Amino acid sequence: MRWPPAGRYRHGGLVGGAELDPVRVKALAVGPVAAAFSKQNVFVVRNEAVARAHRKSAVFTELIGAVIDYLAKLSAPWFVFIDCDPETVPLYERLGFRCHAPHFLYPRGGVDVPTYLVVHDLNYLASIRSRVLPVLLQRGQAHVPAAARFFREMVEGPVEADIPATDAPIDPHGTMDTAPPLREMPLFKGVGNPDIETFLDDAARVEFHAGDQIIDAPARGIAVYLPRAGFVHVVKTSPMGRKTIVTTLGPGDLLGEMSMLLGEGRTADVVALSNGEMIRIRPQQFLAAKGVDAAVLARINLNLAAILARRLKATTNLVA
């Protein structure tokens, strides 16, 4: 398929009058169709006609063409779309994409190049996060884990939606059989299995079920939680009672580290998206875990600092 020339498209600030810049696209307009850049590298299509005509319509195809055309000017060689089905896969393949599943496209260039996600609307993005993404993450352990992890990073950020815990697609009985080894989790990078087991001797295992509220926002942080299996939503509630899913976390992601280090109350609720298990680690274990060598503790604490640094960097990039 050939896309119309770039001159056909009109670019404009559609989100608070924001202007386009070469690093982060604030907005893009194609005739009556509008696409807003709600987060870095995420295009969200917002148009009633598109919603009625379905995303396979000519107007949506034209929008994708405009996005590709514009991003090509930014020297971004490949792009990600999680907005496809068996009928649209051939179109994307002709554009140079490689397909791995009906809802799972990523570029031939791999996941280490500038990459962009195009979705139908905010509700669809929320659906990807709460339904499609956990399955991709779970299945991705077997065939394309790098791309699965990449998709999770791409859609992290505030998206307003109800919490569909009871509709989660993850097997409600599957827990430890899908858990990755502890040594592969960021907190234990560079630490051997015997040292990990010793460090966790005094840690508690906490089982949870889909829909459980695991952490309440006002509660004081007295421990960190390390999901061993299953997925959870981190949820903020506005003064008016409106819930916002801040992010979705799974095996290996750390919860509550900021509250534990500061000794302050939690800033968000944590609600289970599926059945699973967490490891609860108290602050004393980071200081002097019984039987753990000082060098090993130093390594674990360095890993904890790296996790915090990455999250701070992600937050800075989001608001920059």
Interval 289-319: pLDDT, tens: 888 889 999 999 999 998 888 777 766 654 4
Summarize the confidence of residues 206-229 as an average pLDDT.
78
Q: Would residue 250 count as lying in a domain?
A: yes
Interval 224-254: pLDDT, tens: 889 888 778 777 777 776 666 667 777 888 8
Indicate which CATH number applies to the domain containing 216.
Answer: 2.60.120.10
Q: Would residue 295 count as lying in a domain?
A: yes
| Residue 40 and residue 146 share a domain | yes
Q: Does the pLDDT at position 183 exceed 60?
A: yes
Q: Does the pLDDT at position 105 exceed 70?
A: no
| Residue 247 and residue 142 share a domain | no
| Residue 171 and residue 150 share a domain | no
Q: Rounded to whole angstroms, how far apart are CA atoms 186 and 190?
A: 9
Average pLDDT, rounded, for the chain: 58
Q: Which pLDDT belongs to residue 63? A: 47
Q: Which pLDDT belongs to residue 237? A: 75
Report which of 186, 163, 160 is spatially closest to residue 251, judged by C-alpha positions.
Answer: 186
Q: Would residue 160 count as lying in a domain?
A: no
Structure tokens at 228: 């061993």
| Residue 179 and residue 147 share a domain | no
| Residue 294 and residue 248 share a domain | yes
DSSP 86-138: TTTHHHHHHTTEEEEETTEEEETT-SSS---EEES-HHHHHHIIIIIHHHHHH
- The whole domain housing 104 covers 6-155
| Across 15-19, 65-69, 95-99, least confident range | 15-19
Helix then strand then coil, % of the chain, to nearest 5: 35, 25, 40
For residue 40, which phi and psi values (nearest 5 degrees)?
-50, 125
| Residue 268 and residue 134 share a domain | no
User: Strand 224-229's sheet: what is its strand order?
Assistant: 204-208, 276-281, 224-229
Q: Rounded to whole angstroms, how far apart are CA atoms 205 and 182?
A: 14
| Residue 176 and residue 149 share a domain | no
Mutual angle of helices 133-140 and 145-155, in 10-degree steps? 150
Interval 189-207: pLDDT, tens: 899 999 999 999 888 898 8
- Position with higher pLDDT, 287 vs 142: 287
Summarize the confidence of residues 206-212 as an average pLDDT.
83
Which of the listed residues 105, 126, 155 is the one where a domain comes to its end? 155
Q: Does the pLDDT at position 211 exceed 70?
A: yes
Which of the listed residues 155, 177, 212 is the one where a domain comes to its end? 155
| Across 42-46, 71-75, 246-250, least confident range | 42-46
Pairing state between β 97-101 and 104-107: antiparallel
Structure tokens at 216: 């309440």
Q: Would residue 187 count as lying in a domain?
A: yes
| Residue 181 and residue 103 share a domain | no
| Residue 82 and residue 146 share a domain | yes
Q: Which pLDDT belongs to residue 218? A: 59
| Residue 250 and residue 110 share a domain | no
| Residue 138 and residue 172 share a domain | no
Q: Which pLDDT belongs to residue 295? A: 92
| Residue 124 and residue 35 share a domain | yes
Structure tokens at 247: 């992010």
Rounded to the nearest angstrom, the gap between the alpha carbon of residue 98 and the centroid of all alpha carbons in its chain is 21
All residues at 6 or more sequence positions from 129 whose CB lies less than 8 Å from its CB, including other chains: 155, 159, 161, 245, 248
Q: Would residue 1 count as lying in a domain?
A: no
Whose tokens are 């929320």? That residue is 126
When divided into structural domains, the chain yields a total of: 2
Q: Would residue 135 count as lying in a domain?
A: yes
Percent of the chain with pLDDT over 70: 37
Which of the listed residues 155, 177, 206 is the one where a domain comes to its end? 155
Interval 116-157: pLDDT, tens: 444 444 444 455 555 554 554 454 433 344 444 444 444 443
| Across 38-42, 152-156, 179-183, 292-296, least confident range | 38-42
